[in-house]
Structure 1
Amino acid sequence: MKTSLALAFYAISLTFVFAQDIPQDSVNALQEVVLIEQGIEKRAVGITPSSSIGIKEIEKFGPLDIASSINQVSGVYLLSGALNTNRITIRGVGARTPYGTDKLRLYFNNIPVTNGTGFSTIEAYDLENVGAVEIIKGPKGSTFGTNLGGAIILNTKAPEVGQTFLTNSLTVGSYEMFKNNLAFRHSEKNFNLSLSYNHLKTEGYRQNNQFERDGILLTSSVVLGGKSKLDFMLNYIDYTAGIPSSINQTDFEENPTNADANWLAAQGFEANKYTLTGITHTYEFNPGLRNRTSLFYTYLDHYEPRPFNILDEFTNGFGLRSVFDGKLLSGHFTLGTEIYNDEYHWGTFENLFRDNEGVGSVQGDRLSNNTEFRRQLNLFGTFELPLDKNLTAQVGLNLNKTKYDFRDLFNSGDANTSANRDFDAILLPSLELQYKLDQGFLYANVSRGFSNPGLEETLTPEGVINPDIAQEKGISYELGGQFGLFNEALQLTANLYTMQIKDLLVAQRVGEDQYIGKNAGKTRHQGLELDARYAISVTNTFLLTPYLSYTLNDHSFIDFVDGDNDYSGNPLTGVPKHRLSSGLDMVHDSGVSLNISHQYVDDIPLTDANTLSSESYNVFSLSSKYAVPMGKNFKLGLNAGVNNVFDTNYAGSVLINAVGFGGNLPRYYYPANGRNYYGKIGVTYLF
Structure 2
Amino acid sequence: MNHTLTIVLLLFTTILVAQDPVDRDSITQLDEVILLDALKRKNAIGIVPSDIVGASVFQNSSPVSLVPSMNQIPGVYVFSGALNTNRITIRGVGARTLFGTDKLRLYYNDIPVTDGSGVSTIEAFDLENLSQIEVIKGPKGTTYGTNLGGAIILNPKEALGNATTISNNFTVGAFGLLKNNLSFNHYENGLRLGVQYGHTETDGYRQNSTFKRDGLLVNLGYRIDPKNRVNLLLNHIDYTAQIPSSLGATAFAEDPSQATFTWRASQGFEANKYTLTGLNYHHTFSEKLENSTSVFYTYLDHYEARPFGILDEFTNGYGIRSRFLGKTGILDTPANYVLGTEGYRDVYVWDEFQNNFEDNNGNGSLQGAKFADNKEYRTQLNLFGSLEVPFSETFTAQVGVNLNKTKYNYRDFFGQGSENRSATRNFKAILLPSLNLNYQLSNSKSVYFNVSRGFSNPTLEQSLTPDGAVNPDIAQETGMNYELGTQLFLDRKRLGLQLAVYQMNIQNLLVGERIDNDRFIGRNAGKTRHRGLELAVKYRLPLADGFQLSPFVNYTLTDHSFIDFVDEEEDFSGNPLTGVPKHRATAGLQLQLFSFCYWNVTYQHVGAIPLTDANSLSSDSFNVLNTRLGFYKKLTDRFSLGMDLGINNLFDIVYAQSVLINTNGFGGNEPRYFYPGDARNAYGSLRLGYRF
Query: TM-score higher than 0.5 here?
Result: yes
Structure 2 distance, partners of 1:443, 1:509, is 42
3-state secondary structure, aligned to 1:128: helix
Which amino acid counterpart does residue 614 of structure 1 have in structure 2?
S
Structure 2 distance, partners of 1:285, 1:620, is 52
Instruction: Answer yes or no: is the 8 Å Cα contact 2:102–2:119 preserved in 1.
Output: yes
Question: How do 1:151-300 and structure 2 match up within 5 A?
Answer: 151-300=151-300
Which amino acid counterpart does residue 454 of structure 2 have in structure 1?
G
- Residue 509 of structure 1: aligned partner: 514
3-state secondary structure, aligned to 1:663: coil
The Cα offsets for residues 326-377 of structure 1, whole Å up to 9 and x where unpaired, read as 1011100000000000000001001001122301100001001000000000
Question: How do 1:625-640 and structure 2 match up within 5 A?
Answer: 625-640=630-645
3-state secondary structure, aligned to 2:275: strand
Choose from 627, 637, 647 the match for 1:622.
627
- Residue 51 of structure 1: aligned partner: 51
Deviation for aligned residue 1:38: 6.0
The Cα offsets for residues 178-204 of structure 1, whole Å up to 9 and x where unpaired, read as 000111100124110001110000000
Choose from 535, 538, 542 the match for 1:537.
542
Question: How do 1:470-489 and structure 2 match up within 5 A?
Answer: 470-489=475-494
Task: Note if 1:519 corresponds to 2:489.
Answer: no
Task: Note if 1:73 corresponds to 2:73.
Answer: yes
Which amino acid counterpart does residue 408 of structure 2 have in structure 1?
Y
Which amino acid counterpart does residue 633 of structure 1 have in structure 2?
R
Task: Note if 1:322 corresponds to 2:322.
Answer: yes
Structure 2 distance, partners of 1:558, 1:238, is 44
**Greater shift after overlay, 412-421 or 346-355?**
412-421
Instruction: Answer yes or no: is the 8 Å Cα contact 1:408–1:416 preserved in 2.
Output: no
Structure 2 distance, partners of 1:397, 1:27, is 37
Instruction: Answer yes or no: is the 8 Å Cα contact 2:596–2:631 preserved in 1.
Output: yes
3-state secondary structure, aligned to 1:668: strand
Task: Note if 1:587 corresponds to 2:592.
Answer: yes
- Residue 129 of structure 1: aligned partner: 129
- Residue 445 of structure 1: aligned partner: 450
Choose from 323, 346, 353 the match for 1:349.
353
What RMSD over aligned residues (CA atoms) do the two structures have, in Å? 1.4
Instruction: Answer yes or no: is the 8 Å Cα contact 1:477–1:497 preserved in 2.
Output: yes
3-state secondary structure, aligned to 2:461: helix
Deviation for aligned residue 1:251: 1.1
- Residue 399 of structure 1: aligned partner: 403
Question: How do 1:391-470 and structure 2 match up within 5 A?
Answer: 391-414=395-418, 417-438=421-442, 439-470=444-475
Instruction: Answer yes or no: is the 8 Å Cα contact 1:170–1:181 preserved in 2.
Output: yes
Deviation for aligned residue 1:414: 2.4
Instruction: Answer yes or no: is the 8 Å Cα contact 1:591–1:626 preserved in 2.
Output: yes
Instruction: Answer yes or no: is the 8 Å Cα contact 1:352–1:364 preserved in 2.
Output: yes
Deviation for aligned residue 1:208: 0.3
Instruction: Answer yes or no: is the 8 Å Cα contact 1:26–1:57 preserved in 2.
Output: no
Instruction: Answer yes or no: is the 8 Å Cα contact 2:65–2:127 preserved in 1.
Output: no
- Residue 679 of structure 1: aligned partner: 684
The Cα offsets for residues 608-634 of structure 1, whole Å up to 9 and x where unpaired, read as 000000000000001012012211111
Deviation for aligned residue 1:418: 0.5
Instruction: Answer yes or no: is the 8 Å Cα contact 1:283–1:292 preserved in 2.
Output: yes
- Residue 9 of structure 2: aligned partner: none
- Residue 10 of structure 1: aligned partner: none
- Residue 337 of structure 2: aligned partner: 333
3-state secondary structure, aligned to 1:360: coil
Going from structure 1 to structure 2, the CA distance change for 1:194 and 1:64 (only over 3 Å counts) comes to closer
Deviation for aligned residue 1:415: 6.8
The Cα offsets for residues 539-586 of structure 1, whole Å up to 9 and x where unpaired, read as 121000000100001000000001121100000000000000000000
Deviation for aligned residue 1:75: 0.2
Instruction: Answer yes or no: is the 8 Å Cα contact 1:625–1:639 preserved in 2.
Output: yes
- Residue 25 of structure 2: aligned partner: none
Structure 2 distance, partners of 1:82, 1:171, is 19
Structure 2 distance, partners of 1:305, 1:201, is 20
Choose from 353, 359, 366 the match for 1:362.
366
Task: Note if 1:612 corresponds to 2:622.
Answer: no
Instruction: Answer yes or no: is the 8 Å Cα contact 2:131–2:156 preserved in 1.
Output: yes
3-state secondary structure, aligned to 2:68: helix
Instruction: Answer yes or no: is the 8 Å Cα contact 1:26–1:52 preserved in 2.
Output: no
- Residue 117 of structure 1: aligned partner: 117
Which amino acid counterpart does residue 509 of structure 1 have in structure 2?
R
- Residue 303 of structure 1: aligned partner: 303
Task: Note if 1:551 corresponds to 2:556.
Answer: yes
Deviation for aligned residue 1:27: 12
- Residue 95 of structure 1: aligned partner: 95
3-state secondary structure, aligned to 1:547: strand
Deviation for aligned residue 1:255: 0.3
Structure 2 distance, partners of 1:510, 1:73, is 35
Structure 1 distance, partners of 2:161, 2:63, is 28
Choose from 390, 395, 407 the match for 2:394.
390
Structure 1 distance, partners of 2:165, 2:106, is 30
Structure 2 distance, partners of 1:542, 1:528, is 33
3-state secondary structure, aligned to 1:169: strand
Instruction: Answer yes or no: is the 8 Å Cα contact 1:26–1:54 preserved in 2.
Output: no
Structure 2 distance, partners of 1:447, 1:596, is 37
Choose from 643, 646, 656 the match for 1:641.
646
Percent identity of the aligned residues? 55
Gaps of 5+ in 1: 1-24, 29-34
3-state secondary structure, aligned to 2:57: helix
**Greater shift after overlay, 109-118 or 65-74?**
65-74
Which amino acid counterpart does residue 233 of structure 1 have in structure 2?
L
Structure 1 distance, partners of 2:488, 2:99, is 37
Structure 1 distance, partners of 2:180, 2:38, is 22
Instruction: Answer yes or no: is the 8 Å Cα contact 1:410–1:416 preserved in 2.
Output: no
Going from structure 1 to structure 2, the CA distance change for 1:415 and 1:269 (only over 3 Å counts) comes to farther
Task: Note if 1:574 corresponds to 2:584.
Answer: no
Aligned residue pairs total 657
Instruction: Answer yes or no: is the 8 Å Cα contact 1:36–1:42 preserved in 2.
Output: no
Structure 2 distance, partners of 1:56, 1:535, is 13
Deviation for aligned residue 1:410: 1.4
Gaps of 5+ in 2: 1-30
**Greater shift after overlay, 52-61 or 403-412?**
52-61
3-state secondary structure, aligned to 1:546: strand
The Cα offsets for residues 443-490 of structure 1, whole Å up to 9 and x where unpaired, read as 000000000000000000000111000000000000001000011000
Structure 1 distance, partners of 2:158, 2:580, is 35
Which amino acid counterpart does residue 234 of structure 2 have in structure 1?
L
- Residue 504 of structure 2: aligned partner: 499
Deviation for aligned residue 1:640: 1.1
Which amino acid counterpart does residue 146 of structure 2 have in structure 1?
T
Instruction: Answer yes or no: is the 8 Å Cα contact 2:40–2:54 preserved in 1.
Output: no
Instruction: Answer yes or no: is the 8 Å Cα contact 2:158–2:194 preserved in 1.
Output: no
Task: Note if 1:668 corresponds to 2:673.
Answer: yes
Structure 2 distance, partners of 1:189, 1:471, is 50
Structure 1 distance, partners of 2:353, 2:258, is 27
Structure 1 distance, partners of 2:399, 2:590, is 39
Deviation for aligned residue 1:416: 6.2
Structure 2 distance, partners of 1:357, 1:249, is 30
Going from structure 1 to structure 2, the CA distance change for 1:38 and 1:187 (only over 3 Å counts) comes to farther
Which amino acid counterpart does residue 125 of structure 1 have in structure 2?
F
- Residue 313 of structure 1: aligned partner: 313
Instruction: Answer yes or no: is the 8 Å Cα contact 1:27–1:51 preserved in 2.
Output: no
